[in-house]
Amino acid sequence: MAEQGQGAGIRVEAMSAPFHSQAQAWSQRLGLPLVDDAAAFALQVGAEGLQLQQLGPQAPGAVRVDFVEGQAAHRRLFGGGSGQMIAKAVGIAQGVRPRVLDATAGLGKDAFVLASLGCQMTLIERQPLIAALLEDGLARGRSDAEVASIIERMHLLTGNAIAHMGGWQGEAPQVIYLDPMFPHRDKSALVKKEMRVFRPLVGDDLDAPALLEAALALASHRVVVKRPRKAPIIDGPKPSHSLEGKSSRYDIYPKKALKPQA
């Protein structure tokens, strides 16, 4: 997600007295004030971890990362396992669990699904507030007996994904997964709470072509791009094929066949 919105009026606040020191630490780390009466957003610290709350009478509910309960738990238990379209898109098959770089991690939902299926995941998130939510969710997940082993397969990097990929050290990821923010014009596409909160902060990923170029240069086996179903492909090389669902599709750019581990 694009690094914008740090000037959007954001304060950090403790939801109760025991969390003042944590709020102060996040305030210093992110360079955000603890007091700002004109703020449009509040990064709140409380018993359930870190959450981002848009302020105002018509604001949607708070956004937080939860890998233990809710949607993540339901998808982990009942989502369809390796039969899910995302699993097929990244090349999961019998004996094949690729090393995947999710270069536009967001709240980590897709990365968690792939990690739960056995993939070693590296995540990059460049918007500092979203990276903070993700870091907090990963930390809480490590303390849960059921998901700790999944979280151990998820390694978070923060900063610009194009820069990270361009200066990559060590073994290249076999698959790079991209889900750039798409410039929606249809307001009905913004009904999801996360999108309503994030879009004023992060905007659209206008550098998606450069992101794809960097991914194709680094990935050893394939690049997968998630798009709204009717959206055009990203400018650049054309995908070899796509997997299409009801609301989204996966454009696949193969470089080399993924084979079962010996």
Give the residue extent of every domain in the chain.
70-254
Express each pLDDT in 159-168 by its tens digit: 999 999 999 9
Structure token pair of residue 242:
């796509």
Q: How far apart are CA 13 and CA 219, in angstroms?
A: 40
Q: Where are the alpha helices (DSSP H) in the chain?
A: 20-30, 70-78, 85-90, 109-116, 128-142, 148-151, 161-166, 193-202, 208-218
CA distance 68 to 135: 14
Instruction: Tell me whether residue 125 is annotated as binding.
Output: yes
Cα 34 from Cα 54, distance rounded (Å): 15
194 is in an annotated binding site: no
Burial class (CB in 10 A: 0-12, 13-18, 19+), 154: buried
The C-alpha torsion from 93 through 75 and 123 to 92, rounded to 10°, is 0
Question: Token match 């084979």: residue?
Answer: 259
Query: Which DSSP category does 94 fall into?
Result: T
10-residue stretch averages of pLDDT, the chain, 262 residues long:
54 96 96 93 95 88 88 64 90 96 95 96 94 96 93 96 96 96 53 61 74 97 95 94 93 95 72
Closest C-alpha among 32, 35, 53, 55 to residue 44: 53
State yes or no: 66 annotated in a binding site. no
User: Model confidence over 111-151: pLDDT tens digits?
Assistant: 999 999 999 999 999 999 999 999 999 999 999 998 999 99
The pTM (predicted TM-score) of the whole model is 0.89
Fold of 70-254: Rossmann fold (3.40.50)
